[in-house]
A and B are shown apart, each in its own frame.
Chain A
Amino acid sequence: MTQLVTDGSAGERLSPRRSLLHRLDVKGSPYLYIAPFFLLFLGFGVFPLIFTAWVSLHEWSLLSDEHPWIGFGNYTALWADPAFWNALWNTASIWVLSTVPQLLMALVLAHILNQRLRGQTFWRMSALVPNITSVAAVAIIFSQLFGRDYGLINWVLGVFGIDKVDWTANSWSSHLAVSLMIIWRWTGYNALIYLAAMQAVPKELYDSASLDGATSFQQLRKITVPAIRPTIIFTVIISSIGGMQVLAEPLLFGGNGLTGGSDRQFQTLALYLYEVAFGRFDFGYASASSWVMFLIIVIVAAINFALTSRLRRS
């Protein structure tokens, strides 16, 4: 581009043909550069979205050749389906249990990593290690830790005289265990995002705060948090969306059972969707629930956005 522009400024008159090419290049090529993403998004994002909507209006068994039209039948059935509401409640519970401590801990971790430390790079890299570990490996190891008879956690509880907990059996214990896996995987990731934002905060602010006798915690609260607020908003929205889609953790925690426990006590929305689609091959119903799930995520993200942008203005 620069080449062409300098050519023009050199005074040579461009032929009409070349000038058209030039205009096309300037106006058109940026679209060409971003096209690969949008083409992929069209193929893997938009098309499945629309096709899923179409499927959700049919009685669509994966094994059958005939897919009769049933209008909003799947949606009305979903509205009356206790398993769906149960999954929604579990998802919300696990989301709160995992996201809140995860982001708070990430903030503190980032604050510590932002200090002058020996082996800085090593500590920063280690924060990301849980995130690059395969989710299946994490879930399997945590399932072992939370084992009823031979699990490490029950053994430690036993040392303090606390009875064995059957972690998969109850709602509270299973939600806690699943949340811990999510916290373990995503705390370091968020900490690094915070750390990047923190590096942009002017050092002088901290220096003068230290001179005034502010503690490290006060500095975090009064300087860092207000300064990196946009980043915090970003991570809240991203973890909310992620929290709505939790699948592998509850699936593997329940020993590959699709129902998420004997009473669906830790079945998340995504896991319910998986059960309907690949346990019962009922793609129509699964598509309807994935559309409802999509709408819920949009609503949650919108609420998030409204709340946090009010925070930003204040």
Chain B
Amino acid sequence: MRRFTAIVPIMVVALAAAACGSDDGDNQAADDGPVSLTIATFGEFGYKELYDEYQKLHPNVKITERITKTEDHHKNLAAHLATNTGAADIEALEEGWIGQFTANASKFVDLNELGAGDIKSQWPEWKWNVATSKDGKTIGLGTDVGGMAMCYRVDLFKKAGLPTDRAEVSKLWPTWDQYIETGKKFEAAKVPGAHFFDGPTVMYRSILGQAPVGLYDGDNVVVDSNPEVKKAFDLSALAVTSGLSARAEAWTPAWNAGFAKGTFATLGCPSWMMAYIQTQAKDASGKWDIADVPGGGGNWGGSWLTVPKQSKHQKQAYELAKWLTAPEQQAKVFQKYGNFPSTVTLYEDAVIKDFVNPYFNNAPVGQIFSKSVSTMKPQYLGPKAGDINTQIINGLTRIEQGKQNPDQSWQQVLTDVKALL
């Protein structure tokens, strides 16, 4: 019985692959003939309106989007690249995964060969370099960037007797230690049903994202020797052992419900988290606000658009990716959805600088994230960053579950990380 259930998805994949491979009516040379392009993304890229606009500008192009969950999207792509069939013409890659793919850049079109060098100056150097392999092949064009701020619940802060104005809230926590101190005050007020922060995952990622060197120094994994990693771990562990955590594990139903129910009062906020909060807590407009993040700056997340070599319309796919990642389009996505642009030229532009988000009490999110992104120190995420972070976050969860104390947990993290390498 159970074995057959495994066969069905394989057959579906095979059929889908066959279906994708069959629409090759035209070849590379014909630029103006009718072309149908597929683009595979995850989460919310905010491109729906842009596709219509592009199709109006280029009547010969027909765009289909495939949206999958982030994890599955990257797993599927790896399988499609390995079997050399089934990938879309444009494949999005997320920051946490791109290292694995640049390490095997030969599966993608080197966009420099299609003239991407001319638009290189749109992006900060680091955004360009992350998508470039060691031998100089650039496989992706930058879409959004995470940046980092701190989201907080105005109503819960009020109940706890803390300031609610975002400038004053920012002053509460110039450092992460002061953030924890504020948390202790919040807990002392015993607001019913609420804790200070959601859980260690987001806090750990926020702190680690502020370090110039994270899990990797060049090709070497430096989890055991880099004080910045230990600092992110220790601070998150301290927040947990101080009893500040709502123990809502990130991306579980309890966490999703927490946004609307108000079970936690603060949460590290990359720009894409704004879109996430708005979908999870539709009716909580005005209850969430945004302040500066402790420690200043930082980054978590952001994506790229790539063109796999197996695409039959590489040139047309590149043209579309180039258009979608151009500053004008990135600004439109930011205003509608909140994903913050990665193109530097925009940060001084009024469309970004003067933009306020009504859901977050008209917070000047354009300014907040411009500041965060322009002061961030780009960090290299190595090919195994995702798995290593899973081990470290598991360690923090063990502390939260009372299974281990911070020292025991860290020792096990070191063993577990070594086992991955």
- Known A148-B247, A279-B387; contact A62-B253, beta-carbon cutoff 8 A: no
Q: Are A255 and B251 in contact (CB under 8 A)?
A: yes
Cβ-based interface call for A197 (8 A): no
Q: Are A259 and B390 in contact (CB under 8 A)?
A: yes
Q: Chain A residues with Cβ under 8 A from B104's Cβ?
A: 61, 63-65
Segment from B35-43, B74-82, B173-181 that makes contact with A: B74-82
Q: Are B403 and A63 in contact (CB under 8 A)?
A: no
Q: Are B249 and A255 in contact (CB under 8 A)?
A: yes
Q: Are A263 and B403 in contact (CB under 8 A)?
A: yes
Q: Which of B376-410 contact A (CB under 8 A)?
A: 384, 386-387, 390-391, 394-395, 397-398, 401-403
Q: Are B397 and A262 in contact (CB under 8 A)?
A: yes
Cβ-based interface call for B242 (8 A): no
Q: Are A63 and B100 in contact (CB under 8 A)?
A: yes
Contact with A along B234-261 (1 / 0, CB 8 A): 0000000000000101011110010000
Q: Are B78 and A63 in contact (CB under 8 A)?
A: yes
Cβ-based interface call for B107 (8 A): yes
Q: Chain B residues with Cβ under 8 A from A281's Cβ?
A: 78, 100
Q: Chain A residues with Cβ under 8 A from B71's Cβ?
A: 256
Q: Chain A residues with Cβ under 8 A from B103's Cβ?
A: 63
- Known A63-B78, A63-B104, A256-B71; contact A262-B252, beta-carbon cutoff 8 A: no
CB distance from B293 to the nearest CB of A (A): 26
CB distance from A192 to the nearest CB of B (A): 13
Cβ-based interface call for A245 (8 A): yes
Q: Are A280 and B249 in contact (CB under 8 A)?
A: no
Cβ-based interface call for B48 (8 A): no
Contact with A along B82-119 (1 / 0, CB 8 A): 10000000000000000011011011000000000000
- Known A262-B394, A281-B78; contact A63-B254, beta-carbon cutoff 8 A: no
Cβ-based interface call for B419 (8 A): yes
Q: Are A148 and B403 in contact (CB under 8 A)?
A: no
CB distance from B113 to the nearest CB of A (A): 19
Cβ-based interface call for A278 (8 A): yes
How many A residues have CB within 8 A of the partner chain? Answer: 31
A144–B252 Cα gap in the complex (Å)?
10
Per DSSP, chain A at the interface is loop
CB distance from B412 to the nearest CB of A (A): 8
Q: Are A63 and B82 in contact (CB under 8 A)?
A: yes
Q: Are A150 and B254 in contact (CB under 8 A)?
A: yes
Cβ-based interface call for B188 (8 A): no
Cβ-based interface call for B10 (8 A): yes
Q: Chain B residues with Cβ under 8 A from A44's Cβ?
A: 7, 10
- Known A44-B7, A147-B254; contact A83-B78, beta-carbon cutoff 8 A: no
Q: Which of B51-72 contact A (CB under 8 A)?
A: 71
Q: Are A83 and B397 in contact (CB under 8 A)?
A: no
Contact with B along A43-79 (1 / 0, CB 8 A): 0100000000000000001111100000000000000
Choose from A148, A256, A259, A280 the contact partner of B254 (Cβ within 8 Å): A148
Cβ-based interface call for B2 (8 A): yes
Cβ-based interface call for A158 (8 A): no
Cβ-based interface call for A226 (8 A): no
Q: Are A62 and B79 in contact (CB under 8 A)?
A: yes
Cβ-based interface call for A169 (8 A): yes
Interface size class, chain B: 35 or more
- Known A166-B401, A263-B394, A263-B398; contact A255-B252, beta-carbon cutoff 8 A: yes
Cβ-based interface call for B420 (8 A): yes
Q: Are A169 and B401 in contact (CB under 8 A)?
A: yes
Q: Which of B140-154 contact A (CB under 8 A)?
A: none
Contact with B along A141-175 (1 / 0, CB 8 A): 00110011110000000000000001001100000
Q: Are A245 and B2 in contact (CB under 8 A)?
A: yes
A64–B7 Cα gap in the complex (Å)?
25
A83–B312 Cα gap in the complex (Å)?
42
Q: Chain A residues with Cβ under 8 A from B419's Cβ?
A: 81-83
A120–B391 Cα gap in the complex (Å)?
52
A197–B384 Cα gap in the complex (Å)?
53
A63–B107 Cα gap in the complex (Å)?
9
A62–B84 Cα gap in the complex (Å)?
11
Q: Chain B residues with Cβ under 8 A from A263's Cβ?
A: 394, 398, 403, 412
Q: Chain A residues with Cβ under 8 A from B401's Cβ?
A: 166, 169, 262
- Known A262-B394, A262-B398, A280-B420; contact A65-B251, beta-carbon cutoff 8 A: no
Q: Which of A251-288 contact B (CB under 8 A)?
A: 255-259, 262-263, 278-281
A100–B2 Cα gap in the complex (Å)?
19
Contact with A along B212-237 (1 / 0, CB 8 A): 00000000000000000000000000
A83–B387 Cα gap in the complex (Å)?
14
Q: Which residue of A lies closest to B72 (CB)?
A: A278
Q: Which residue of A lies closest to B412 (CB)?
A: A263
Q: Which of A120-145 contact B (CB under 8 A)?
A: 143-144
Q: Chain B residues with Cβ under 8 A from A101's Cβ?
A: none
Q: Which residue of A lies closest to B7 (CB)?
A: A44
CB distance from B118 to the nearest CB of A (A): 29
CB distance from B102 to the nearest CB of A (A): 10
Q: Are A242 and B78 in contact (CB under 8 A)?
A: no
CB distance from A172 to the nearest CB of B (A): 13
A149–B247 Cα gap in the complex (Å)?
9
CB distance from B182 to the nearest CB of A (A): 24
Q: Are A242 and B82 in contact (CB under 8 A)?
A: no
Choose from B1, B3, B106, B387 the contact partner of A65 (Cβ within 8 Å): B106
Contact with B along A75-98 (1 / 0, CB 8 A): 000000111000000000000000
A242–B386 Cα gap in the complex (Å)?
31
Q: Chain A residues with Cβ under 8 A from B81's Cβ?
A: 62-63
Which among A63, A83, A144, A279 has the greatest number of chain B C-beta atoms within 10 A? A63
Q: Which of B7-37 contact A (CB under 8 A)?
A: 7, 10
A245–B1 Cα gap in the complex (Å)?
12
Choose from B254, B386, B403 the contact partner of A262 (Cβ within 8 Å): B403
A280–B100 Cα gap in the complex (Å)?
9
CB distance from B11 to the nearest CB of A (A): 9
Name 12 extra pairs, CB < 8 A, besides A65-B106, A149-B247, A263-B412.
A63-B78, A63-B81, A63-B100, A65-B104, A83-B419, A144-B253, A150-B254, A170-B403, A255-B253, A263-B403, A278-B75, A279-B387
Q: Can you list 17 contacts pairing A with B, beta carbon distance less than 8 Å?
A: A44-B7, A61-B104, A62-B79, A62-B81, A63-B81, A63-B100, A63-B101, A143-B253, A147-B254, A149-B247, A169-B403, A255-B251, A257-B390, A258-B390, A259-B390, A259-B394, A262-B394
